[in-house]
Amino acid sequence: MIKDEDTRVKLTSDNEFYINANYIGVDDKVLYIAGQGPLANTIYDFWRMIIEEDVKVILMLANVIEKNSKKCEQYWPNLGDKGGATPDDSNPREQRDIIVSNVNEDLIKNEIYDRTIKVGFSGAEEKIVHIVHFTTWPDFGVPNLSTFSEVVYLVNNLNTTKSKIYVHCSAGVGRTGTFCLVDSILKDYQNGVDIDAEKIMERAVSLKVCLVFQQLILTLKLQKQRFGMIQTQEQYHFAYSSIAHIIEQNVNK
């Protein structure tokens, strides 16, 4: 994955700790951190970033295994496990000076997990972080529109402090970029901004995502916050449909 150093998240003691993640901003305000799914050798760096950036909600849009291929590590402990220091055991799990505990899991419609995690540096106060895991979004594809809408609502309802949302799939591009585009436009709508096709296109440009379909790639020459954030024409069309669907739901309430 190609990274943009200007927007890359830099941890304290950055020479030692490295994370493949970028700030994603709208109107000079950082709303998201988009990143790669944690790997075995980056789990500690990942949790350090979550603590340092005061992230309250992690949105996971990939599965650990997809089509017999490993997409990322299980970076949270199993519910009820105790001890250990590997991704497969541990509750709590000590990773050098960080403690991670899984205190609750809710499964919504057999597709969405809401995992309640306690995490903190050893000897310091722990913080609560929610991992919202959407399990049915295929790589390079699109999910069920209604279920995706529920994910958007859940993430924002859990993010009560309006902190940066950490969003990842496997590479941290296609599915991640689609969510960031949809969610940022919906935040504008909730703030009274008129939304139309032109506004969605303008936001895609302001997010500096790479829109990979022919009629756009000819006209958009983008410096990217995170390269390739929307990978297919289908994903962009899905983003547009999701925005329309969720706005319609709000109007009809």
User: What CATH number corresponds to the domain at position 73?
Assistant: 3.90.190.10
pLDDT in tens, 132-188: 999 999 877 788 889 999 999 999 999 999 999 999 998 766 788 888 888 888 888
pLDDT-above-70 percentage for the chain: 68
Residue the block writes with tokens 């992230």: 55
pLDDT in tens, 179-195: 888 888 888 888 887 77
For residue 201, tell me if it sits in a domain.
Answer: yes
Q: What is the pLDDT of residue 44?
A: 86
State how many domains the chain has: 1
Mean pLDDT across the chain, nearest whole number? 77
Using CA atoms, how far apart are residues 75 and 50, in angstroms rounded to an integer? 12
Checking if the pLDDT of 85 tops 60, the result is no
**What's the Cα-to-Cα distance from 116 to each of 9, 56, 99, 102, rounded to whole Å?**
24, 10, 14, 6
The pTM of the full predicted model, rounded to 2 decimals, is: 0.79
Q: What is the pLDDT of residue 193?
A: 78
pLDDT in tens, 103-121: 999 999 899 999 999 998 8
pLDDT-above-90 percentage for the chain: 32
For residue 66, tell me if it sits in a domain.
Answer: yes
Checking if the pLDDT of 56 tops 90, the result is yes
Domain extent, residue 218, equals: 8-252
**169 catalytic, yes or no?**
yes
Q: What is the dihedral of CA 59, 225, 205, 246, to 10 degrees?
A: 0
For residue 1, tell me if it sits in a domain.
Answer: no
Q: What is the pLDDT of residue 52?
A: 92
Q: What is the pLDDT of residue 27?
A: 73
- What average pLDDT does range 234-243 have in this prediction? 71
For residue 171, tell me if it sits in a domain.
Answer: yes
Q: What is the pLDDT of residue 19?
A: 78
pLDDT in tens, 195-236: 766 777 676 666 654 433 333 333 232 234 444 455 556 666
pLDDT in tens, 88-108: 444 455 555 888 999 999 999
For residue 2, tell me if it sits in a domain.
Answer: no
Count Cβ atoms below 10 Å from residue 10 Cβ, excluding itself. 14
For residue 74, tell me if it sits in a domain.
Answer: yes
Say which of 72, 169, 180, 210 is annotated catalytic.
169
For residue 198, tell me if it sits in a domain.
Answer: yes
Checking if the pLDDT of 83 tops 80, the result is no
Q: What is the dihedral of CA 213, 219, 221, 222, to 10 degrees?
A: -60
Using CA atoms, how far apart are residues 189 and 184, in angstroms rounded to an integer? 9
